[in-house]
Each structure stands twice: as C-alpha cells, then as structure tokens.
Amino acid sequence: MQEVKVVVAHDERATLRVGDVFLKIDADQTRVDAEVEAMAMVPIPTPEILWRKPPVLALAALPCTPLGRLGEPSTASPAAWAAAGAAVRTLHDAPLPPRLGRSVDEIASDLDSECEWLVTNGVLPTDLVTRNRQVAEAALRPWTPVFIHGDLQITHVFVDGDEITGVLDWSEAAQGDALFDLAILTLGHEEHLDDVVAGYGTDVDLDVIRGWWSLRSLLAFRWLVEHGFDPSSPGCEIDVLRSRM
C-alpha cells in the first residue's frame, strides 16, 4: 500500500504525496487557476498536470531532489545553483503573464502594518525591526515588471546533479520585480547568491536583494506563526533578520 505523506498543510491549503502524485488542495480556486495558467506559459520545466477536480489539483512528481531547504545546508553544487539562476533568467525573459502583482505602494503599506504589529506586540525587538525596515527600503523602488514565480523557495526548485528538472508551485506567479525571485531563492542561503547571479547572467543590485530578504522576512513573520511554522528555527527568518544587524 502506498503511503500518504503530508508535504505541507495549514488553514489555506494542503499538499499530499501519494506515490508519484502530488495532490494540492486549495480553498481559493483563484490561486489554482493562476497556477494552471502560469504552468501553461512558462518556458522552464514544470510538473505534469494529471487532472483537476476542484478543490484538488493532481500533479506528477518531479524527478530528483530539491535544491535545498530553509534552515539546512544545501548539498547542491555551485553549478546547480548557477543553473537555477539561469532558469530564473529564462523565466524573466518570457512574455508577461496577464496577472498583475502587488504595487510598491501596497507592499510598503503592508510592511508598515506588519512592523507596527511586531513591535506593538513585543514579537521582535524594536531595534531588529527598525534596522530591517531600513534595509527593506532598498527594495521599495520602481521596477520594470517581468514574469516572476512569486514564491521561488529552494524547496520548489528540483535538480538532478547540476541540471534543473523542474519548478513547483506557481500559484503566486505574476508580473513583478525580477530581484524578488532571486531574493526568495537565496533567502537563508546568502553563501550561494554569487552562484545564482553568475547563472542569471547580468548585473544585479545586491542591496535590493538584501532589501527583499528583510522585507519578506518581516512580512511573513505573523503569517508563519499563525499557521504553525517556526520562524525562529536555525537559519530561518529570525536569523535572516539578525544577519542584517
């Protein structure tokens, strides 16, 4: 009998693995619509869609292993990280998807709200929040929209040796800032940023990437706590924020 493995589960969605099939169960069908639409457009490998019966989307498992995990050392080679950078560049050079991402003003407003919540409730030290809010300012500038993945965590990028075999979870795909994808890919793995940028093949503003590291960690903190995740685990969001002090 095949085991049912819970990959991730919280109040909004759950992903189960049964043999070589992933079952994504999502309460918000607009996210699933966006994922299916994006997967039909992207120029890099994605999982095969086996079937869809709302609220479930069935995907074929990708071969091989994730590039790494947040909070754990990555065993992937520098060439694999560079290949991930090259795949991201291919995505960013693709025609824009119809879905619009959040504006700079919307992100800045959310950041102000989350920083106020973190300080008012004593969740994080004031100096830690203040310093990272300053660092995050570098990301809050105009950008030329590109086709972004929108949640390019290293667990969503699969590799076989030095080759990218596919990228998962396109529910946040939209028009957005190219450096946001690069920042999320390297969040908590700053030591691999040079390899990713080398594979990406063009100059990037490292201060903006550092800004996105701080911004994303501050924005995600409350959501992670409320959905049963621990941002204080070694190598995770609190460590990312502390590294900017």
Res 71: pLDDT: 87
- Is the pTM value of this prediction over 0.75? yes
pLDDT band at 1 (very low <50, low <70, confident <90, very high): low
The residue type found at 9 is A
Q: Is the pLDDT of residue 124 over 90?
A: yes
Q: Is the pLDDT of residue 8 over 90?
A: no
Tell how far CA 74 is from the center of its chain: 16
Sheet holding 4-9, edge to edge: 4-9, 13-18, 21-26, 56-60, 49-53
CB within 8 A of 113, min separation 6: which ones?
A: none
Q: What angle do CA 46, 194, 171 make, to 5 degrees?
A: 25
